[in-house]
Amino acid sequence: MRVLLTACVTTALVVSGPLAAGAVGRARESPVGGAQLTTEPTVVAQGATPPAVHASAFLIADLDTGAVLAAKAPHAKLRPASTLKTLTALVLLPRLTKTDQVVGTDQDAGIEGSKVGVYPGCRYTVDLLFQGMFLASGNDAVHALATHDQGGVPATIDRMNKLASQIGALDTHVTDPTGLDADGQLSSAYDLALFARAGLEREDFARYASTKYTNFPLVKKPGTYQVANQNHLLFTYDGALGVKTGYTTLARNTFIGAARRGGHRIVVTMMNSPHGITEEASNLLDWAFKNYTVLTPVGTLIKPVTTESKTGGGPNVSKKSSTRTPLPKRSRTILEHGQAVQSLAFRVPVWFYAAPPMLLLPLFLRRPRALKAQARRLKARRH
């Protein structure tokens, strides 16, 4: 009996031990970009202390080398607001033809949030809509562009989530390409830096991000009205490359800004900031440029493993294109032989494997008592 019990308990420990160890091992995996880049609200920097900012999370990095120079809660999952439009642009820019004409709809004009002025029945080039998206953060322009692409808004969302995964932006989940507050829509200061880095490698993205003014057509009379870029860094900071600002009631101020000085391109991302976003971004950029030679990187912006064509989610395909490609299917994981069982085993609590021996224990304990009782009855009969 003891041998059997020992074997059962040993089996439970042997099976459960690796599972528990595996769970601990997964919990200790380093975050993307390095072990120091966590969700903790602690500023991480080596060589010099960055200026204090009100943002709940921020990251400063070299766009060329990918070296992260300082960070605070860079992987904290927060609402991105319109900074998410950088990911929207990464998906749509390679897919849409800039000279295509897009007719505004009631759905475009009726969308919530900031608008650049897309009106039903009016015609706009894709190029002008991208300007309205970057400069005025126009949600109406985003909706018009996404609807113009094959599959519309739902397909754009799918492509955005797929692309975020491909480039290592694992904190990001998209449910609305405009960046409006929506259930489950999250990103991080680290991921925003990845979007900026990938975007600024594209000539068209960089041009839109740094454009200060554009003109949109009037509706009721001939002429245009001027639209200014909402990223004030472009107007106040020497060497600014722009990128994107954002604001919603729940996200508060979010920001992606970049600048070039002394042969270096530095990006700053900030999330959940109550005020002073341009001034604080300028202070962080000044600090990075001034202390660049004495700073030791605390992490890195990982490089995407995809090619440029894959980064865009496919070839240029719009509703009016003659070439049609099927919508991308949601990715699924194919397990190797033996992994399916292991995957299921990880979902089973450790105590489950010890339960069978414990349940069998009373059966073995009951038998010795029965044998003792029988021995007493036989002894009584002899007497």
- State residue 342's pLDDT score: 31
- Measured CA to CA, the distance from residue 320 to residue 130 in angstroms comes to 18
How is residue 77 written in tokens? Answer: 């999952």
Catalytic, 82? Answer yes
- Measured CA to CA, the distance from residue 204 to residue 93 in angstroms comes to 8
- State residue 26's pLDDT score: 37
- Measured CA to CA, the distance from residue 81 to residue 92 in angstroms comes to 18
- State residue 309's pLDDT score: 39
Q: Where are the domains of the chain?
A: 2-30+349-382, 43-311
Q: Which residue among the candidates 16, 82, 187, 282 is catalytic per the annotation?
A: 82
Q: Which residue among the candidates 16, 72, 85, 115 is catalytic per the annotation?
A: 85
Q: Which residue among the candidates 16, 114, 115, 137 is catalytic per the annotation?
A: 137
H-run or E-run covering 240 = strand 240-248
- State residue 356's pLDDT score: 52
Residues with pLDDT less than 50, the chain: 1-28, 306-313, 320-354, 364-365
Helix (H, G, I), strand (E, B) or coil at 83: helix
- State residue 303's pLDDT score: 86
- State residue 267's pLDDT score: 98
162 in a labelled binding site: no
Eight-class DSSP state of 294 = G
Eight-class DSSP state of 307 = -
Helix (H, G, I), strand (E, B) or coil at 257: strand
Sequence-separated (6 or more) residues with CB below 8 Å from residue 245: 82, 83, 137, 230, 231, 253, 254, 255, 256, 277
Task: Answer yes or no: pTM beyond 0.85.
Answer: no
Q: In the CATH scheme, what architecture does the domain 43-311 have?
A: 3-Layer(aba) Sandwich (3.40)
- State residue 358's pLDDT score: 56
Q: Where are the alpha helices (DSSP H) in the chain?
A: 2-27, 85-92, 106-109, 126-135, 139-148, 152-166, 189-200, 203-210, 233-236, 277-291, 308-311, 339-347, 351-382
CA proximity to 244, closest of 287, 211, 282, 283: 211
* 49 close to 60: Cβ distance less than 8 angstroms: no
